[in-house]
Amino acid sequence: MIKNVDAIVIGGGPAGMAAALSLKNNGIEKVLIAEREDFLGGILLQCIHNGFGLHRFKEELTGPEYAERYIDFLKSTDVEVLLKTCAIDIVSTGKKKKVYLMSESSGLIEVNAKVVILAMGCRERNRGNIAIPGSRPAGVMTAGLAQKLVNRYGYMPGKEIVILGSGDIGLIMARRMTWEGAKVKAVIELQSYPGGLNRNIVQCLNDYNIPLYLSHTITNIYGNERIRAVDVAPINEFREPLKENTFNITCDALLLSVGLIPENELSSNAGVCLDKVTGGPLVDSNLMTSISGIFACGNVLHVHDLVDWASEEAEDCGKSAGEYFKTAIVQAKGIPVKAGHLVRYALPSTLEPGKPGLISLRTIAPAENAAIIVKAGDSVLYKKTHKKIFPSEMQRIKIDTVPENADAIHVYFE
């Protein structure tokens, strides 16, 4: 099957749906969404807790409710949606792109488009990524899988739970498992500070007296057919376990909440340059990747802590992609954005001179009384002091006008 469209969006999660709607709102007629699952909405459909939509819709929604808003918006348009359809390759042929899809019902599909928006989201790190020693019994899984089993299929992964990592999904699952009658015995965190948002530490752990062991790690997993216990040890300044202080916790399930990785195998195979820090594509101020006509947004670009920001970023991406379709704007040869003291990363990699700019960044470690500073040479473009900053909270900085004569934009904490 061959399809000819103006733009294709790969991924039907919140970013993909927002990008497709933005394309339509900016005058692009033939828009296609390719989604590998049998539903739109992505990870939101298993996030049944509230807290979504406060920035986007000015009200508190659950994940499925937030997804439903965008699904309803799409139904009012003629955006074509292909479900159970996986993108397997992108080939750039000048101004045109060929995207090869594999569909359960239609087989191999070749899509010809001028614009491609990458919105594949991210995936969880698993046991293989962090190499925990010990046996390989059942009951060891990612926190996101446990969330899917409980919230979508009504299946409890265990009754005595240990969670490795204090990412937001792990914290939320600590509360969720407690609500379902399980005993969450501990949350183990390698860092000296929590990995999730502070409100989740309070609402999901402190409110239920669930112990959080900072600067600790799991050194062994025990169990034959089913996990039965783990060894936990504190670590020293070199992240080496202090074996003499090891203690054992019995459990029948271990949930891993040890970070997220942007889904960029497709991007890499297409020749898109990736950021070594975020794992997502390098993009300019228009959210265009290193290949003209291929854009990226949402968690495939960098991991967001709020779906509202992912949706907003996707709308900006759709607007830029629409402008590219109509005017063939070239990649912005902008001013490089350089991450300085305490900044883990700053996006985009360049800003266009003479225009407003939006920078997203995260800090490397927690800090108190720290000022975010953005400078071009000796000129201070932005400065704001925070009583506390955390790596779990993404900062978004709006620059009124990017100086035209700047050699670089420096972003750092002081």
69: helix, strand or coil: helix
The residue segments making up the domain with residue 85 are 1-124+260-332
Arithmetic mean of pLDDT over the chain = 94
43-64, pLDDT tens digit by residue?
A: 999 999 998 999 999 999 999 9
Question: What pLDDT sits at residue 254?
Answer: 97
Q: Which of 298, 332, 366 is the last residue of a domain?
A: 332
Same domain, 275 and 369: no
Same domain, 135 and 241: yes
Same domain, 119 and 45: yes
Query: What percentage of the chain exceeds 70 in pLDDT?
Result: 99
Which residues lie across from 8 on neighbouring strands? 32, 116
Cα 78 off chain centre by: 28
Same domain, 229 and 296: no
pTM of the model: 0.94
* DSSP E strand boundaries for 203-275: 212-214, 216-223, 227-234, 247-250, 253-256, 260-262
Determine the Cα–Cα distance for residues 47 and 42; give it in Å rounded to an integer: 10
Cα 51 off chain centre by: 17
Any idea what DSSP says for residue 152?
H
- Give the relative orientation of helices 143-153 and 168-179 as an angle to the nearest 10 degrees: 40
Same domain, 245 and 280: no
Q: What are phi and psi of 179, to 5 degrees?
A: -60, -35
> Using omega within 30 degrees of 0 as the cis cutoff, is the peptide bond preceding 348 cis?
yes
126-166, pLDDT tens digit by residue?
A: 988 888 889 999 999 999 999 999 999 999 999 999 999 99
How far, in Å, are 118, 148, 169, 172 from residue 154 at the CA level? Answer: 32, 9, 18, 16
12-36: average pLDDT: 97
Count H helices, E strands: the chain? 8, 29
Same domain, 214 and 138: yes
Question: pLDDT band at residue 332, thresholds of 50, 70 and 90?
Answer: low
- As a whole number of angstroms, the longest Cα–Cα distance in the chain is 66
316-328, pLDDT tens digit by residue?
A: 999 999 999 998 7
**What is the DSSP annotation of 72-110?**
HHHHTS--EEE-SEEEEEEEEETTEEEEEEEETTTEEEE
Q: What is the CATH number of the domain that holds 113?
A: 3.50.50.60
- What tokens were used for 351? 């800003």
